[in-house]
């Protein structure tokens, strides 16, 4: 009973049910009268009854003979032909034979009907077999092929002519957003040409405080970068430490050892500086300075200090750190300083527009910072023409058009004697960028614009065809200022970008003295905290100044480089 799957007995379930019922019926009255105590104290003589039930169960299992499986000749399938088993498309499947129970119940009344039907089926089978014997194998194969192709053609005609009512509408319906504009004409800017026409750039209504950011700023002023140095706190710590001499290291040996390291009575050697320079190099690399440049900076400092006599009460670390700071400040303050406002006024005296070209890799913020510089120039009283020479990136022209509308909203013509201060010159997509820049400069000269800002497509420094096109644009139009736009986030990549951009401009220029990069726009400076090493890498490799620094998303987030603030952030521990 416990292992029913192991036992081969077929009557176990029936025996258990019978024993249960027999025991319950026999001792029911006794259970009801005596209750639970009767189960504990009572005696049950059930052996004879159990043996009787067991014999009955065994005899009942012997009476039922095991079912024997039918042979194939006895089955219904043996009576079917191959032809009747093939189902064709479009035909309804034959009704299945009803349950065996129904067959058994109707056998008595349908024996006479079944006999002739069997005979007719046998005659058909014999006739089909006779026909097959008359045909050869090739004829049967050919006949089957013709029948197959006939059925296939009928099915193809049915599938080709569906009912017109069942056809669904093709294409996807455009999604209508809750906060969007359902009118497609409002969003269509393809036919608008803004070349000098203020009507094509309608004034946009938006919050000027969000676009300007700082409300307390002085209009037209380019603020310096600010950085709070921790030098004063460090000096206070240095002053406080001598007043608390340590007793643990105590003794005269510790005091004399400290004085020996401070008193300047020896000249610096390379062995003294190597441990400090190694730490300085790792510190510069951690601050995003390119590894190659960090090594060169430390080498130059070592050569400068080697053999120098140390001052009184100075350590090797402080001496090396001071020399490195001076070298970094000198790198960030190149000899030639770019003064854009002075150069624009000089171009005004010669009655020509001042042309600035922006170049750089993809996604560094050329268009955004071009708009910031436009805003700064407008606030200084100069009119600006933006040349949309990025004819490759989708949405580039629309981005500049949006900036133009917003700048016109911040500085409407009414505030400048009816003069539109910023306009967009664009010729759509897929055109030659050098040709568009040339037309924009000519248009600005005829219309009296003060500045032309040329926006170019982003390109990787390894893409030779695009670098050739950029060199052509600069060589043909000869801009007054070529600005390389680079991210403050990059490290070693900054060196590779600037070297290859300068090399491409030199290789593909037709002039004897090729035009190279004149200055740098450092973007995304607000995202790096004190990892300002990209500024050092870019200025060191090109010896060109950083003209503008982008520090945010509003039009006022434009700064000039403060070398001391950058170095203070770089040397911060």
HEC secondary structure over 244-308:
CCCCCCCHHHHHHHHHHHHCCCCECCHHHHHHHHHHHHHHHHHCCCCHHHHHHHHHHHHHHHCCC
Kindly tell me the number of DSSP H helices and DSSP E strands found in the chain.
22, 8
Higher pLDDT, 375 or 203: 375
Task: Give the model confidence (pLDDT) of 84-111 as tens digits.
Answer: 666 666 555 554 444 444 444 444 444 4
Helix axes of 316-332 and 270-286: crossing angle, nearest 10 degrees: 50
Phi and psi at residue 451, to the nearest 5°? -135, 140
Q: Please state the rounded mean pLDDT for residues 187-206.
A: 50
HEC secondary structure over 387-412:
EEECCCCCCHHHHHHHHHHHHHHHCC
3-state secondary structure of 464: helix
Task: Give the model confidence (pLDDT) of 279-304 as tens digits.
Answer: 999 999 999 898 999 999 999 999 99
Q: What is the DSSP letter of 527?
A: G
Q: What is the side-by-side order of every strand in the sheet holding 519-523?
A: 422-425, 384-389, 451-456, 354-359, 481-487, 519-523, 546-550, 558-559
Q: What is the DSSP letter of 321?
A: H
As given in the structure block, the two tokens for residue 14 are 């029936």
Contact 557, 531 (CB under 8 A): no
Query: How far, CA to CA in Å, does 163 sit from each of 19, 151, 160, 171, 265?
Result: 69, 21, 10, 19, 106
- Tell me, what's the pLDDT at 103? 46
Pairing of strands 558-559, 546-550: antiparallel
| Residue 500: Cβ-neighbour burial (10 angstroms; 0-12, 13-18, 19+) | middle
Helix axes of 291-305 and 533-542: crossing angle, nearest 10 degrees: 70
Please report which confidence band the pLDDT of residue 230 belongs to, taking 50, 70 and 90 as the band edges.
low
- Tell me, what's the pLDDT at 347? 94
Please report which confidence band the pLDDT of residue 504 belongs to, taking 50, 70 and 90 as the band edges.
confident
Q: Which residues contact 386 (CB under 8 A, 6 or more apart)?
A: 370, 374, 400, 403, 404, 422, 423, 424, 425, 453, 455
Please report which confidence band the pLDDT of residue 337 belongs to, taking 50, 70 and 90 as the band edges.
confident
Domain 340-571 in CATH: superfamily?
P-loop containing nucleotide triphosphate hydrolases (3.40.50.300)
Domain boundaries, the chain: 267-332, 340-571
Query: Would you give the distance in Å from CA 462 to the centre of its chain?
Result: 23
Mean model confidence pLDDT for the chain: 76
Q: Which residues contact 316 (CB under 8 A, 6 or more apart)?
A: 268, 272, 273, 276, 310
| Cα dihedral 189, 191, 195, 196 sign | negative
Contact 427, 192 (CB under 8 A): no
- Tell me, what's the pLDDT at 97? 44
Task: Give the model confidence (pLDDT) of 514-541 as tens digits.
Answer: 888 999 999 999 888 888 888 999 898 8
Please report which confidence band the pLDDT of residue 358 belongs to, taking 50, 70 and 90 as the band edges.
very high
Residue with tokens 């434009």: 558
The 10 Å Cβ neighbour count of residue 38 is 13
- Tell me, what's the pLDDT at 145? 80
Query: How far, CA to CA in Å, does 174 sit from each of 169, 366, 394?
Result: 13, 33, 21
- Evaluate if residue 166 carries a pLDDT over 80: no
The span from the CA of 263 to the CA of 254, in Å, is 14
Find the helix or strand (DSSP H, E) in which 149 lies: helix 137-160
- Evaluate if residue 375 carries a pLDDT over 90: yes
When mean pLDDT is compared across 73-77, 130-134, 455-459, 509-513, the lowest value belongs to 130-134
Half-sphere exposure of 210 (CA within 13 A, CB side): 5
| Cα dihedral 311, 314, 319, 322 sign | negative
Contact 521, 484 (CB under 8 A): yes
The span from the CA of 450 to the CA of 355, in Å, is 9
């Amino acid at each position: 009973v416990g292992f029913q799957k192991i036992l081969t007995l077929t009557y176990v379930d029936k025996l258990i049910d019978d024993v249960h019922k027999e025991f319950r019926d026999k001792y029911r009255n006794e259970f009801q009268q005596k209750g639970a105590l009767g189960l504990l104290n009572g005696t049950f003589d059930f052996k004879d009854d159990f043996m009787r039930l067991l014999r009955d169960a065994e005899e009942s299992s012997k009476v039922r003979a095991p079912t024997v499986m039918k042979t194939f000749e006895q089955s219904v399938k043996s009576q079917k032909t191959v032809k009747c088993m093939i189902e064709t498309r479009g035909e309804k499947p034959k009704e299945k034979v009803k349950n065996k129970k129904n067959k058994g119940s109707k056998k008595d009344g349908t024996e006479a009907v079944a006999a002739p039907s069997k005979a007719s089926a046998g005659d058909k089978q014999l006739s089909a077999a006779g026909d097959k014997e008359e045909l050869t194998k090739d004829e049967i194969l050919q006949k089957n092929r013709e029948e197959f192709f006939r059925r296939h053609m009928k099915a193809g005609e049915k599938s080709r002519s569906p009912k017109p009512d069942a056809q669904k509408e093709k294409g996807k319906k455009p999604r209508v957003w809750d906060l969007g504009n359902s009118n497609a004409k409002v969003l269509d800017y393809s036919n608008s040409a803004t070349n000098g026409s203020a009507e094509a750039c309608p004034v946009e209504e938006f919050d000027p405080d969000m676009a300007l950011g700082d409300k307390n700023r002085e209009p037209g002023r380019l603020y310096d970068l600010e950085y709070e140095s921790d030098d004063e706190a460090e000096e206070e710590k240095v002053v406080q430490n001598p007043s608390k001499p340590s007793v643990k290291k105590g003794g005269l040996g510790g005091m004399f050892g400290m004085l020996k390291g401070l008193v300047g009575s020896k000249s610096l050697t390379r062995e003294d500086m190597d441990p400090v320079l190694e730490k300085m190099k790792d510190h510069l690399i951690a601050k995003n300075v390119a590894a190659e440049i960090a090594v060169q900076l430390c080498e130059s400092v070592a050569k400068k200090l080697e053999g120098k006599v140390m001052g009184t009460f100075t350590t090797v670390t402080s001496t090396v750190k001071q020399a490195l700071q001076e070298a970094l400040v000198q790198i960030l303050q190149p000899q030639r300083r770019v003064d854009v406002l002075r150069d624009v006024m000089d171009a005004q005296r010669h009655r020509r527009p001042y042309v600035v070209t922006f170049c750089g890799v993809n996604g560094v913020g050329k268009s955004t910072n071009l708009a910031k510089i436009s805003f700064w120039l407008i606030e200084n009283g100069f009119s600006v023409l933006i040349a949309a020479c990025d004819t490759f990136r989708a949405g580039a022209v629309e981005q500049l058009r949006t900036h133009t509308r917003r700048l016109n909203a911040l500085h409407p013509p009414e505030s400048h004697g009816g003069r539109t201060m910023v306009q967009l010159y664009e010729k759509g997509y897929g055109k030659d960028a050098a040709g568009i820049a040339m037309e924009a400069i000519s248009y600005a000269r005829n219309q009296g614009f003060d500045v032309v800002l040329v926006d170019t497509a982003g390109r990787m420094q390894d893409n030779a065809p695009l670098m050739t096109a950029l060199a052509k644009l600069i060589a043909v139009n000869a801009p007054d200022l070529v600005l390389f736009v680079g991210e403050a986030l990059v490290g070693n990549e900054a060196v590779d970008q600037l070297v290859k951009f300068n090399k491409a401009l030199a290789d593909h220029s037709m002039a004897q003295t090729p035009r190279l990069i004149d200055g740098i726009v450092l973007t995304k400076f607000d995202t790096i905290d004190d990892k300002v090493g990209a500024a050092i890498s870019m200025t060191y490799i090109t010896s060109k100044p950083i003209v503008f620094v982008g520090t945010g998303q509003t039009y006022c987030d434009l700064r000039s480089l403060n070398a001391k603030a950058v170095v203070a952030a770089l040397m911060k521990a």
